[in-house]
Structure 1
Amino acid sequence: MDIINGVNIVNIGILLVALLLSMSIHEAMHGFVAFWLGDDTAEKEGRLTLNPFAHIDLYITILLPLFLIILGMPPILAAKPVPFNPNRLRYGDFGAALVGVSGPITNLLLAAACAPILHVVAPGTIIYSFITVMITLNVLLFVFNMLPIPPLDGSRLLYAFSPEPVRRILESIESIGIMFIIVILLLLMPIIAPFISGVSTEIINFLV
């Protein structure tokens, strides 16, 4: 019966709205930056939008986190990757790096924009809870996505500044497939989680 408790329903609703909003802006920004750099692939596929349904993938956005929750594991979810053609971008690998980091940087800017609002709204209100979730969630999205592990966005930055042997390793990892990489991330979570938590806490403390 506790699952239908009003407070829990409100909290779940706040989390879902914050997640859909943050995810949509993150993914749309990938497409906008790619378009600005000369590639219209995302535009042709209807991804230059804040409509969350355009960025939801049945398997990695919905079914995967539900499956992990059922197994008692930490939920990992991802939006449908925004397609872009690196060969059509200005500045080559650096253009691809800009497309990659644009999403996480946008999450960090969203958190920074929300932080001052905490000082002008009353604690205990729905708005206060929503802003708190937006700050925490977007900082977590920033830190997690900036990890230099393919296919996370941070790997694009590493790829742009790495010598050819390292690039080949990154390409080999990415070619394995996203589901296998998610399994690897889950196995590494005991190592990664404390790092993500620590860095995120420092950023949040700085912002608020």
Structure 2
Amino acid sequence: MSDINIVYVLETLLILMASASVHEWAHAWTAEKLGDPTARSMGRVTLNPIPHIDPIGTIILPLFFLLFSGGSAFFAWAKPVPVNPRNFRKPVRDDILVSMAGPASNLAIALLVAVVFGIVGRFTGLETIAPLAGQIILINALLMVFNLIPIPPLDGSHVLRHLIGMSEMAFIRFSQYGFFILIGLLLLTPFGELLWRGILFVGSLALGLMYGIAG
């Protein structure tokens, strides 16, 4: 493995850790604003990555995948933010808002990077900074789209639950098999290809914005 690949792998891991931390912070911050202090009491309303990092899911496993794929693939997760919907003023609406705050934060990162790098690129050119911008944008597009999948423990599952009126007990049972359903969809159906197309679509929009600003 070349030094360049190792640098790229470590760079990707750092971007992933930072982006996942913002994702979890967004859940925690939104929950607090909507009346649930649970995340605040556990120190999760912070942009400091340490409280959000799961040693296996945020460091060891993604590093393993990145090293053995040459930096082209990873599987990761951060510590879920604890939320008590009973504290919300409007439980259904607020649970959906908290769930969507994470993916929305990743979209915001992708767009912010596109704007900032686009402005910088107007003066310096995009040749040297475009690869890093593309890396950040693609990782955040992946985190956004992947977490919208309506299967537990992903954020989209909370939206699905409320849309179809699933009871709390039924959702708990559904969650017990969520991981296996997700893996089955990704490995045994065309769902993985559709997911990747969605990720590329979001990434392409952000990159198009960046190049448009850079002129």
TM-score (ref. length: structure 1): 0.84
Q: 1:40 maps to which residue?
A: 37
Q: Residues 75-154 of structure 1: matches in 2 within 5 Å?
A: 75-119=74-118, 120-121=120-121, 122-125=125-128, 127-154=129-156
Q: Cα deviations across residues 115-161 of structure 1 (Å, max 9, x unaligned)? A: 13443334443x43322111111111110000100110011111222
The 2-side partners of 1:54 and 1:63 are apart by 16
Q: 1:18 touches 1:130 (CA, 8 Å); kept in 2?
A: no
Instruction: Give a deviation string over 1:19-42, Cα, whole Å, max 9, x none.
Output: 121111100010000000111111
Correspondence 1:206 to 2:205: yes
Q: 2:183 — aligned with what?
A: 186
Map 1:24-35; keep pairs closer than 5 Å. Answer: 24-35=21-32
- In structure 1, the gaps of 5 or more residues are none
1:50 to 47, 50, 53: 47
Instruction: Tell me by how many angstroms 1:49 deviates.
Output: 0.8
Equivalent residue pairs, number: 198
Structure 1 equivalent of residue 56 of structure 2: 59
Code of the residue aligned with 1:48 in structure 2: it is V
Structure 1 contact 14–130 (Cα < 8 Å) conserved: no
Secondary structure of 2:149's match? coil
Q: Which one-letter code corresponds to 1:202 in the other structure?
A: F
Query: What is the rounded CA distance, in whole Å, between the counterparts of 2:204 and 2:65 in structure 1?
Result: 30
Gaps of 5+ in 2: 209-215
* Partners of 1:93 and 1:159 within 8 A in 2: no
Match for residue 159 of structure 2?
A: 157
CA contact (8 A) 2:9 2:66 kept: no
When residues 25 and 132 of structure 1 are mapped into structure 2, their CA distance, relative to the original with a 3 A threshold, is same
User: Is residue 173 of structure 1 aligned with residue 170 of structure 2?
Assistant: no
CA 1:45–1:110 in 2, change beyond 3 Å: closer, same or farther? same
Compared CA separation, residues 66 and 102, structure 1 to 2 (3 A): same
Q: CA deviation at 1:168?
A: 5.2
- Kindly indicate whether the alpha-carbon contact (under 8 Å) linking 1:111 and 1:138 is maintained by their aligned counterparts in 2: yes
The TM-score with structure 2 as length reference comes to: 0.81
Residue pair 2:17, 2:58 contacting (<8 A) in 1 also? no
Paired residues of 1:15 and 1:133 also in contact (CA < 8 A): yes
Assess if the C-alpha contact under 8 Å between 1:18 and 1:134 holds in 2.
yes
Percent identity over the alignment?
Answer: 35
CA gap 1:47/1:198 in 2 versus in 1, 3 angstroms: same
